[in-house]
Chain A
């Protein structure tokens, strides 16, 4: 992959009649080590090279991904895309792509060349994580270590030429004492220096050990302290809901609430494409606009939706540099840190719950924000500021707006989270939410 290839693709599409052209190239190598019950079960590796091509012709839009990068295949794909796009209906809402050129400031700590050569050291990382979990009392541990490195290229018909390299490390470990006592933690980093799977393993092991002998939780309204891992799941949804695409299509609880209060004063939620050492940080968006820090919710007030150039023009605002090839998308979700230590936060709770993981968050109505989600792994009753009993078989059954508005405390130590149901990096501390509705199966 190189610039020349993308420049030729853009030029050829223009020759064939395209108005706007975006060619986005990606060359990536990734590896995954899956471990089960303390042993390595599978090694996976992947090498992919592709060019995504977006064009407009008289406000008609077309998109394809070229995976066979031979000269013949590229020529066929461009010609076919032009023919295909001409048959589409115009999109009256389309307002073009950004005009370059742009200057890009370097990003801090997004690439570590050693990651692509880990090989044997990957086994050491897995062993370190597993052994730490076992040392804390877990009997078995399962999870994955993933690492990747790659390079992105972007060329557009509006004078954009941009490139960047990126790398990432991700470790997810679920430690179990028995089938009903478990803890799950993750750690992620863009560099080997900051990557500590042994910490994740130890923390997962400690939660698992505390979670033994769970009893059935009771229905009611609880003040809940969320560990960063489960709260990241909800913040991922909140930030996806800030994309103007989600708002227009009915997938968002933030529609019609611009400049209105959608959360408590404790909540300042940021989309920061330039976050140092964040797995998704990027110098530019899919149109080549330099990324920036967008305060989406400021002290509880919704300040902006996420836009690309086209949607921004439609709404009379400036792009937030969140262009995907078709729709605006968040880079990450950063919950601004608060003033509480974890200890102080627990002391705020006379009777509540401490949740360490959730999954299967599903909505009854995306626009209203009504949902339920299931805590898994360690769930603890908090009594007079201390986690006491281990609980099981409960469900959180609430509303996104209500939960954000009932967020009464945010801790000061943030953690970067990515997970099975957390698809964008979320940087969040522990969070205390008042009066969350809890239900359980009834017979």
Chain B
């Protein structure tokens, strides 16, 4: 799979004076379908081949990419990159990379049912089945946007240090926006599912019943929901809400490139500083990890896009800030080794520090035990609107499916409870952690040009004691 052209690029870059060179040749192939209000709006397939090359010349990092896999094009691009690197050396950062072991390995995520073997009629049938199920609803769902995709990505990574890694990772994904009506009022919900594997995963999602159930919950909230309480109450946050908080307020601020200012003009910086490692942020039973090796996860990989072996990182360990996410460049700045967190969206994107699957580890309490101690509170099962500031401190999560808790019992739906808090207040308020982890999919955006990469985020249900709802 384009190994010859990747070898050529690395060898040619070194020959032209690069101190380091790597090449990532990729081939991907898949299909995508979109349905709008019961009509098949779009259907297509894609097949893509390309190469991304990084080289360091005189301390300047260069990244070049093309879908034109010819030696002459690469030769011209590398020549020009070397010239540009040399001419800008006087105003350039001196990039150095931490040492990394030489790796020679191949791995593949198997598909029990290969997506490419499934007839496209069978794929669009999934969307029509959802439509049929939604039509059975006893309430109005005036707008329905549904999409389904599959993609298999073959990668071949080679660097001038001798690493040679090839991988095959298949992805499947579903996204929808549904709009539910009641008495001229509307409510909306997005549903996103992403996993690595074959079409068996799509079948296992049971999309018709899943989407119909989400629509039903939305309708009940719209029809029966009462105003959410305001002021200090206990908030019981279910895995979807916990997951977004772990991603936004732990994963992102622990990205070492943000801490070093490399994303200042894009996704921003971080409230974290290197001297905060070891400081307490939560009670001792709070542990947050980023783990790319979760089987079937959207953020799955065993070697990152710099050829470094991936591993589980404890971002918060026993309630203390513990470890940042690093690539080889940031690791060098911190005088440590990379923990394998470099990802690129595709061959045309530079590898930068990214999350994979970020989640809170489970505790020992059941969700029922967490709820039964709440005198007055809100159970926030899902969210719709959310955002966080660029240092990852000031955040807001607005509930979609949510219920009032009174005397340890879930009573009735509540509308749009808004949790507007800070990262420090959120973590200091966690006083109970559930025993079952749930994962949710997302597309994480970072970098410029913007790169969206698939991730999971999650955790068990947690209780936030005495936190203010707005």
Chain A 243-266 per-residue mask, 1 if CB under 8 angstroms from chain B, else 0: 001001111000000000000000
Chain A 33-53 per-residue mask, 1 if CB under 8 angstroms from chain B, else 0: 110110111111111111000
Partner of B470, one of A41, A68, A327, A442: A442
B393: chain A residues within 8 A (beta carbon): 393
Interface with B: A4-12, A56-64, A301-309, which one? Answer: A56-64
Residue of B nearest to A120 (CB): B87
Cα of A92 to Cα of B41 in the assembled complex, Å = 10
Cα of A122 to Cα of B98 in the assembled complex, Å = 29
Chain A 348-364 per-residue mask, 1 if CB under 8 angstroms from chain B, else 0: 00000000000111111
On whether A443 and B422 interact (CB within 8 A), knowing A143-B265, A249-B143, A364-B416, the answer reads yes
Partner of B187, one of A40, A143, A365, A374: A365
B265: chain A residues within 8 A (beta carbon): 142-144, 172-174, 184, 420
B67: chain A residues within 8 A (beta carbon): 48-50, 67-68
B45, B264, B387 — which one has the most chain A CB atoms within 10 A of its CB?
B264
On whether A39 and B83 interact (CB within 8 A), knowing A64-B44, A174-B264, A364-B416, the answer reads no
B268: chain A residues within 8 A (beta carbon): 359, 376
Question: Are the CB atoms of A372 and B396 closer together than 8 Å?
Answer: yes
Cα of A40 to Cα of B40 in the assembled complex, Å = 47
A326: chain B residues within 8 A (beta carbon): 41-42
Does A407 make an interface contact (CB < 8 A)?
A: no
Cα of A331 to Cα of B448 in the assembled complex, Å = 21
The B1-53 residues at the A interface (CB cut-off 8 A) are 31, 36-37, 39-50
Q: How far is the CB of B74 from chain A (nearest CB, A)?
A: 9
A36, A44, A64, A368 — which one has the most chain B CB atoms within 10 A of its CB?
A44
Q: How far is the CB of B221 from chain A (nearest CB, A)?
A: 12
On whether A91 and B39 interact (CB within 8 A), knowing A36-B93, A361-B387, the answer reads yes
Question: Are the CB atoms of B468 and A443 closer together than 8 Å?
Answer: yes
Does A176 make an interface contact (CB < 8 A)?
A: yes
Question: Are the CB atoms of B266 and A420 closer together than 8 Å?
Answer: yes
Residue of B nearest to A371 (CB): B385
Chain A 8-37 per-residue mask, 1 if CB under 8 angstroms from chain B, else 0: 000000000000000000000000111011
Question: Are the CB atoms of A87 and B389 closer together than 8 Å?
Answer: no
Cα of A80 to Cα of B121 in the assembled complex, Å = 15
Question: Are the CB atoms of A250 and B120 closer together than 8 Å?
Answer: no
B68: chain A residues within 8 A (beta carbon): 47-49
Q: How far is the CB of A319 from chain B (nearest CB, A)?
A: 18
Does A440 make an interface contact (CB < 8 A)?
A: yes
A374: chain B residues within 8 A (beta carbon): 387-390, 394
Q: How far is the CB of A313 from chain B (nearest CB, A)?
A: 15
Q: How far is the CB of A101 from chain B (nearest CB, A)?
A: 27
On whether A367 and B37 interact (CB within 8 A), knowing A32-B448, A84-B120, the answer reads no
B188: chain A residues within 8 A (beta carbon): 250, 363-367
Partner of B47, one of A67, A89, A363, A366: A67
Residue of A nearest to B142 (CB): A250
B49: chain A residues within 8 A (beta carbon): 67-68
Question: Are the CB atoms of A395 and B396 closer together than 8 Å?
Answer: yes
The A177-195 residues at the B interface (CB cut-off 8 A) are 179, 182, 184
Residue of B nearest to A73 (CB): B47
The B435-457 residues at the A interface (CB cut-off 8 A) are 448-450
Does A317 make an interface contact (CB < 8 A)?
A: no
Q: How far is the CB of A47 from chain B (nearest CB, A)?
A: 4
Residue of B nearest to A126 (CB): B91
Chain B 146-180 per-residue mask, 1 if CB under 8 angstroms from chain A, else 0: 00000000000000000000000000000001110
Question: Are the CB atoms of A63 and B91 closer together than 8 Å?
Answer: no
Partner of B186, one of A248, A365, A420: A365
Partner of B63, one of A42, A47, A61: A42
Does B285 make an interface contact (CB < 8 A)?
A: no
A84: chain B residues within 8 A (beta carbon): 31, 43-45, 120
Question: Are the CB atoms of B385 and A87 closer together than 8 Å?
Answer: no
Residue of A nearest to B144 (CB): A250
Cα of A140 to Cα of B448 in the assembled complex, Å = 19
Question: Are the CB atoms of B264 and A36 closer together than 8 Å?
Answer: yes
A42: chain B residues within 8 A (beta carbon): 60-63, 350
A50: chain B residues within 8 A (beta carbon): 67
Does B345 make an interface contact (CB < 8 A)?
A: no
Cα of A34 to Cα of B77 in the assembled complex, Å = 18
Does A136 make an interface contact (CB < 8 A)?
A: no
B50, B61, B84, B267 — which one has the most chain A CB atoms within 10 A of its CB?
B84
Cα of A120 to Cα of B178 in the assembled complex, Å = 51
B293: chain A residues within 8 A (beta carbon): none
A443: chain B residues within 8 A (beta carbon): 421-422, 425, 468
Q: How far is the CB of A291 from chain B (nearest CB, A)?
A: 23
Question: Are the CB atoms of A37 and B261 closer together than 8 Å?
Answer: yes
Q: How far is the CB of A31 from chain B (nearest CB, A)?
A: 8
B448: chain A residues within 8 A (beta carbon): 32, 34, 144, 172, 420
Does B80 make an interface contact (CB < 8 A)?
A: yes
B395: chain A residues within 8 A (beta carbon): 441
A46: chain B residues within 8 A (beta carbon): 64-66, 348
A142: chain B residues within 8 A (beta carbon): 261-262, 264-265
Question: Are the CB atoms of A41 and B87 closer together than 8 Å?
Answer: no
Cα of A47 to Cα of B80 in the assembled complex, Å = 12
Does A112 make an interface contact (CB < 8 A)?
A: no
B425: chain A residues within 8 A (beta carbon): 441, 443
Does A152 make an interface contact (CB < 8 A)?
A: no
Residue of A nearest to B67 (CB): A67
The B266-314 residues at the A interface (CB cut-off 8 A) are 266-269
Cα of A363 to Cα of B186 in the assembled complex, Å = 13
Residue of B nearest to A53 (CB): B44
Question: Are the CB atoms of B261 and A140 closer together than 8 Å?
Answer: yes
Cα of A32 to Cα of B61 in the assembled complex, Å = 12
Does B73 make an interface contact (CB < 8 A)?
A: yes
Question: Are the CB atoms of B48 and A45 closer together than 8 Å?
Answer: no
Residue of A nearest to B76 (CB): A47
Question: Are the CB atoms of B389 and A40 closer together than 8 Å?
Answer: no
Cα of A61 to Cα of B39 in the assembled complex, Å = 11
Does A135 make an interface contact (CB < 8 A)?
A: no
Does B182 make an interface contact (CB < 8 A)?
A: no
Question: Are the CB atoms of A179 and B391 closer together than 8 Å?
Answer: yes
Q: How far is the CB of A93 from chain B (nearest CB, A)?
A: 6
Question: Are the CB atoms of A441 and B40 closer together than 8 Å?
Answer: no
Q: How far is the CB of B226 from chain A (nearest CB, A)?
A: 17
Does A163 make an interface contact (CB < 8 A)?
A: no
Chain B 389-408 per-residue mask, 1 if CB under 8 angstroms from chain A, else 0: 11101111010000000000
Q: Which 10 A-B pairs have the closest CB atoms?
A: A250-B143, A63-B44, A360-B387, A174-B265, A142-B264, A364-B385, A143-B265, A249-B145, A250-B179, A40-B92
A contact set with B: CB distance below 8 Å: 32-34, 36-37, 39-50, 61-65, 67-68, 77, 80-81, 84-85, 87-89, 91-93, 119-120, 122-123, 126-127, 140, 142-144, 172-174, 176, 179, 182, 184, 245, 248-251, 326-327, 359-368, 370-374, 376, 393, 395, 420, 439-443
A-B contact list, 24 entries, CB within 8 Å: A32-B448, A36-B93, A41-B95, A42-B61, A44-B350, A47-B65, A47-B73, A48-B348, A62-B44, A65-B48, A84-B31, A84-B120, A89-B40, A119-B84, A120-B84, A142-B262, A179-B391, A248-B37, A249-B143, A250-B178, A327-B41, A360-B387, A363-B188, A440-B420
Further 8 A-B residue pairs, CB within 8 A, beyond A65-B48, A81-B45, A441-B394 = A36-B93, A44-B63, A45-B62, A47-B65, A91-B41, A367-B188, A420-B450, A441-B420
